[in-house]
Amino acid sequence: MPFLTEEFGNASSRHEYGSRARIAINAARERIAALVSVDPVQVIFTSGGTEANNMFFGGMAAYLRPSQVVISGIEHPCVSVPASKLVRQGWSLDNLNVTEDGEIRLTEISVDRFHLNGLVSVMLANNETGVIQPVREIARVVRKSGGWMHSDAVQALGKIKVDFEELGVHALSISAHKINGPKGIGALIIDKKLPIEPFINGGGHERGYRSGTESVASIVGFGVAAEEAQRNLDRYQSQVSPIRDKIESDLALIGATIFGKNVERLPNTTCFSIPDIHGETLVMELNKGGFAVASGAACSSHNAKASATLSAMNVSESLSLGAVRVSLGPHNSLDEASRFGIAVSQITDDLKNMAAVAISA
């Protein structure tokens, strides 16, 4: 709050107000660095996960000669779109397939798959299914082939351990609002030797990597959220997964398909579909009952197309259009999970009865 109300200093100013802002930014940088186990100089603040992902592709392509760019078939559009735009600059584009459970096939990973100085980007956890991807294993192979490995860890941060060194990546994108921080702030975490050109140029902020007067309040909020996420990390799984499991066992009783159920997933995410029930309709009806859930990917929920992630998992279009995603947190309770199951069951019955009446009429 002080940075939204009283502390108006610009961190680039030499006076007292400015230096208080600079000290606050540095403290936030340290907290975020601690959450992903890096040195604070490796944290480059951006306007969010979208910018961090675009910065990786734009900044690397500005430095390197065109080579190969490899992404998985389930990446967020802020990875897949900048990656595919590199084709216009002479880069070749290759896609890694996923299994029916939404996990990258490790059988597709070999040293000869990746080119020297190629860019490889694989998300740590998927935003729709929560399925955790084998980033560490892929990074090891990419390094052997002389490529550069990036991971979009926006969904994974705060839910599972995200350790930059342990993952073996060269760059990692994170965003504050996925860990209860402010919207509009994120970071690209970079290897100290990453050959990346500044993506947004200007007054040389963020060690020249990302110019523009820092959004002090957002950065401070991100720092506080990071500190809290780190404090709660050990108990996150044991607090949240029983709630998710309760929801899923209730959903199974009404014939729902749970996507990615057989593989390792984030503890807080469930993505399901009930045959013949449209996801958008279910979301609107649940909203009336006070449940805030999303159909398909939240970032593109205005778009009623079948989700690219579920299509990559070979899910039929009709089941895919029924997809609903529930994201939980430690603030949710088992009682809410029970009420959610009852609400879905009632809405499903009502919608099926209405459809039966319409057909008989």
Residues with a known catalytic role:
299
Amino acid at 68: Q
Q: Which of 38, 55, 78, 277 binds ligand PLP (CB under 6 A)?
A: 78
- Measured from the CB atom, the residue of 129 and 332 that comes closer to ligand PLP is 129
**Under rule CB under 6 A, which residues in 179-208 are in contact with ligand PLP?**
186
Interacting residues of 208 by C-beta distance below 8 A, sequence separation 6+ = 198
| 76 in contact with ligand PLP (CB under 6 A) | yes
- Measured from the CB atom, the residue of 7 and 101 that comes closer to ligand PLP is 101
H-assigned helices in the chain: 2-5, 16-35, 49-63, 77-85, 135-144, 164-167, 216-253, 279-288, 308-312, 317-321, 334-360
Enter the DSSP assignment of 133. Answer: P
Among the listed ranges 29-37, 148-156, 211-219, 268-276, the one in contact with ligand PLP (CB under 6 A) is 148-156
| Closest alpha carbon to 325 in 349, 289, 295 | 295
Q: Which of 175, 269, 273, 309 binds ligand PLP (CB under 6 A)?
A: 175
| 155 in contact with ligand PLP (CB under 6 A) | yes
Give the DSSP H or E segment for 96. Answer: strand 92-96
Q: Which of 127, 151, 268, 307 binds ligand PLP (CB under 6 A)?
A: 127
**Under rule CB under 6 A, which residues in 243-262 are in contact with ligand PLP?**
none
- Measured from the CB atom, the residue of 176 and 321 that comes closer to ligand PLP is 176
| 162 in contact with ligand PLP (CB under 6 A) | no
Residue 209 CA, chain-centre distance (Å), reads 22
- What's the min distance (Å) between Cβ of 173 and ligand PLP? 7
**Interface mask toward ligand PLP for 45-74; x: CB under 6 A:** ---xxx------------------------
Asked whether the beta carbons of 78 and 84 are under 8 A apart, the reply is no
Output the CA–CA distances (angstroms, integers) from residue 186 to 30, 167, 183, in the order listed.
14, 19, 8
- Measured from the CB atom, the residue of 269 and 320 that comes closer to ligand PLP is 269
Residue number of the CB closest to ligand PLP reads 49
Tokens of 33: 């660095």
Q: What's the number of CA atoms in the CB half-sphere (13 Å) around residue 342?
A: 8
| 307 in contact with ligand PLP (CB under 6 A) | no
- Cβ count near 333 (within 10 Å): 12
- Measured from the CB atom, the residue of 18 and 212 that comes closer to ligand PLP is 212
Residues forming contacts to ligand PLP in the complex (CB under 6 A) are 48-50, 76, 78, 123, 127, 152, 154-155, 175, 177, 186, 299
